Structure 1
Amino acid sequence: MKIITYSDLHLEFGTKLQPPQDSDADLMILAGDVITFKDFMPLGKFLKDWKKPVLYVAGNHEYYTNKLMSQGNERFKAWLAENHQNVTFLQDEEISIDGVHFFGGTMWTDFDNSDIHAMLIAKQQMNDYRVIMHPDNRRLKPEDTVAFHNNFIQKLIDWFEKDLQGARVVITHNAPTLNRNTKYNNSPLRPAFNSLDMEKIIEKYQPNLWIYDHTHECDDQMIGDTRIISNQLGYPGNSGHFECIDFDVNGMP
């Protein structure tokens, strides 16, 4: 199976980008921060000529709507059902396509095992905790993202423990590890988008592939037999190494 992956396209800013029409990829993965759930039309334009399957996980920016997260999810699923039935929205869920097994979700973060200082800095500096609305009709709190992360991890481990034959691919928005040359190693906000516990999980279960995003830094590295890939565009004007890459998951360890 050949996969093409994108993330952090931020189409809400009017980014002019289309999937390559000559791509021989069997599947597209969109790993979050593609649009906001306030306006689905930029995604519709992006996908208008793409008829193959798409797997989509939400990033944090999808929820920059001042509406409840749950409302955004339901509106998005309804829009997909009406307009793009080839797109599957994964919310801590699994799907198998042509013998390849996928598990996807935002993942969020555990703030280095609920570190109080890290959570306070994130609450003070990140827009997530000013504009995202929790399903309980209040502003999102760092404690909520820890709870979301823990729920994701439990479901992910349950999936890893299943007896599935074939390649396994994990899709998240938040980072399970960081680019080895990242500028964020000493950033006080690093715990807000990278969870240290994930490398241990990768080392234990060794999925064939893990696709992540959120950092606006592209990445391609190995942890044991697991290939870690991130292909991010970022905000308009960002300079990076984004490109239209594809790869064959069946050719991985």
Structure 2
Amino acid sequence: MAIVSKSSHQTDITRYFHDFDCRQHIFGARQPLLTGLTAANSRHPSSAQFQKEKTLSKLWILSDLHLESIPYPGAFSPARPDFDVLVAAGDIWQSDIKRGLGFLTRLADGKPVVFVMVNHEYWRGNLGTELQKARDLAGKAGIILLENEAVTLAGCHFVGATLWTDYELAGDLADKENPTGELISVSDEKSSRPFTIADCAATHSVTRKYLTAEILGHDSTVPLVVVTHHAPHLDCLPQHVRGTWAAGNCASDLSELTDSGKAALWINGHIHESSCIHRPGGTRIICNPAGTRFSNSRFDEALVVEV
């Protein structure tokens, strides 16, 4: 699996902030997310041709753009790299799934988009209602929204979900009866109430069972790519987050899946720091988030991974 990046410098944050006060630490010197980058140019074959010709699939990966946080979101118009599928691991536009999906449609310019719904897409909404709304809008936009679902596309088998966390990595710091603090509601037969840590853990359990069946049961020669918003392993977390309440909010320990060697690539978001880790079985876990107000100086707007 190779990495292809066509950006020769970090994202030009000044394009998105204009007259806003950007602190010097945001403009830190670019630190490449990955080393040993190579360039590649090949035509875009059909799914059947990918397998017949053993052509590597080029995945353009990004997450956590938080376009609602910048004054001129329309100014973010990166040059499109050579890619086959745009993979968006969520948090594109808070509380406005229609604008977020519209942005992804324009960005992909006719090529396929794989997308997962996440906490800020649900923000100020109801968990069930917003998901159905997003499914309808994604269908009209031609975007592939995955929530405990899979699709084979462009020579890869994509498995996707939000992967709400189980909060186990927070230990005793997380009271299961408390709300998560996110402005998301859930409904029962009689009323609507805030989304709690217990709700989050229950939803996590459903997704975990689904991912376990899909990943461990994968026996095809087609590369398996998992897309989730929340992180699947403790090593995805920065050191200062580990052992805190935030650790439980950001990640869960799915090492039995990440270390199984079944997935070629696992893409996540949510953590506003770039990362690339290799698990013992060979799975690579990549996070390429822009962060609120494009605060992640290591965000690569043209990050392409070949699988």
Which TM-score tier does this pair reach, normalised by the shorter chain? 0.7 to 0.9
Please give the TM-score of this superposition, normalised by the length of structure 2: 0.72
Residue type of the alignment partner of 1:132: I
Q: Structure 1, residues 129-173: CA drift from partner, whole Å, max 9, x if none?
A: xx2011432211101111111111111111121432310011010
Asked if 2 retains the 8 angstrom alpha-carbon contact of 1:216 and 1:234, the reply is: yes
Matched residue, 1:54: 113
| Partner AA of 1:213 in structure 2 | G
Deviation at 1:120, TM superposition (A): 2.4
Distance 1:180 1:90, change over 3 A: closer
For the residues of structure 2 that align with 1:102 and 1:42, how far apart are their CA atoms? 21
Letter in 2 for 1:228: I
Alignment CA distance shift 1:51-1:194 (3 Å): same
* Equivalent position of 1:63 in the other structure: 122
Which residue number corresponds to residue 127 of structure 1?
A: 181
CA shift, 1:182, in A, is 3.6
Q: Counterparts of 1:202 and 1:90 in 2: how far apart (Å)? A: 19
The code of the aligned residue for 1:167 comes to: P
Shift of residue 79, structure 1, vs aligned partner? 1.9
Distance 1:153 1:173 in 2: 13
Instruction: Classify the secondary structure of the residue corresponding to 1:55.
Output: strand
- Note if 1:188 corresponds to 2:240: no
Query: Which sections of structure 1, spanning at least 5 residues, go unmatched?
Result: none
Q: Distance in 2 between matches of 1:205 and 1:195?
A: 18
Whole-Å Cα distance in 2 between the matches of residues 81 and 181 of structure 1? 36
Cross-structure match for 2:295: 238
Output the amino acid matched with 2:93: I
AA of the residue aligned to 1:176:
P
Q: 1:236 to 1:123 in 2, by over 3 A?
A: farther
Question: 2:68: which partner in 1?
Answer: 12
Identity percentage of aligned residues = 26
**Displacement of 1:181:** 4.8
1:60 partner letter: N
CA-CA distance at 1:39 after TM superposition: 4.9
Matched, 1:202 2:261: no
Structure 2 unmatched runs, 5+: 1-56
1:70-149 to structure 2, matched below 5 A, reads 70-82=128-140, 84-85=141-142, 87-112=143-168, 115=171, 117-120=172-175, 123=178, 126-128=180-182, 131-136=183-188, 137-149=192-204
1:46 is displaced (CA, Å) by 4.6
Deviation at 1:42, TM superposition (A): 4.5
State the shift of 1:230 in Å.
Answer: 0.4
SS at match of 1:189: helix
Deviation, 1:99, is 3.1
Which residue identity does 2:210 align to in structure 1?
A: K
Map of 1:15-54 to 2, 5 A cutoff? 15=73, 16-21=75-80, 23-49=81-107, 50-54=109-113
User: Would you say the 8 A contact 2:160–2:227 is kept in 1?
Assistant: yes
Matched residues, number = 240
For the residues of structure 1 that align with 2:265 and 2:185, how far apart are their CA atoms? 32
Residue 114 of structure 1, CA deviation: 8.8
8 Å CA contact 2:104, 2:113 repeated in 1: no
**TM-score w.r.t. structure 1 length?**
0.86
Cα displacement (A) at 1:13: 2.3
Greater CA radius of gyration, 1 or 2?
2
**Secondary structure of the structure 1 residue equivalent to 2:259:** helix
Q: Do 1:11 and 1:43's aligned partners in 2 also have CA atoms closer than 8 Å? A: no
Would the aligned equivalents of 1:69 and 1:132 in 2 still touch at CA under 8 Å? yes
